Amino acid sequence: MPRFQIKTFEPEAVVFDTASGDTHYLTPLALALFQLIQIQPGMTAADIETSLAARLSLQTGPHFTQMTDEAISSLRRIGLLAAP
């Protein structure tokens, strides 16, 4: 059984961690980010931000960069993304 079970409710999702028993909510931004990184691993931070903004039809800028950084940190904290 995989560690994480993801149930999407477009545009958001919940993730069940079978190891800890915890359930985590993924915002639309976090879900889109996770899906993007799964499709295109190894992207640079700039590429992630540009692709994510295009995917969500949002403008890039300092606020978007902060939101993206927070989403990456959140995904790392729950174990969906490995630390660099």
> Tokens 């961690």 map to which residue?
17
Q: Token pair of 74, please?
A: 């959140």
Averaged pLDDT score across all residues of the chain: 94
- Strands 4-9 and 23-26, how do they pair? unpaired
pLDDT in tens, 34-84: 999 999 999 998 999 999 999 999 999 999 999 999 999 999 999 999 877
pTM above 0.75, yes or no: yes
Domain locations in the chain as residue ranges = 28-84
Inter-residue contact 15 to 6 (CB < 8 Å): yes
pLDDT in tens, 15-39: 999 999 999 999 999 999 999 999 9
Phi, psi of 24 (to 5 degrees): -125, 140
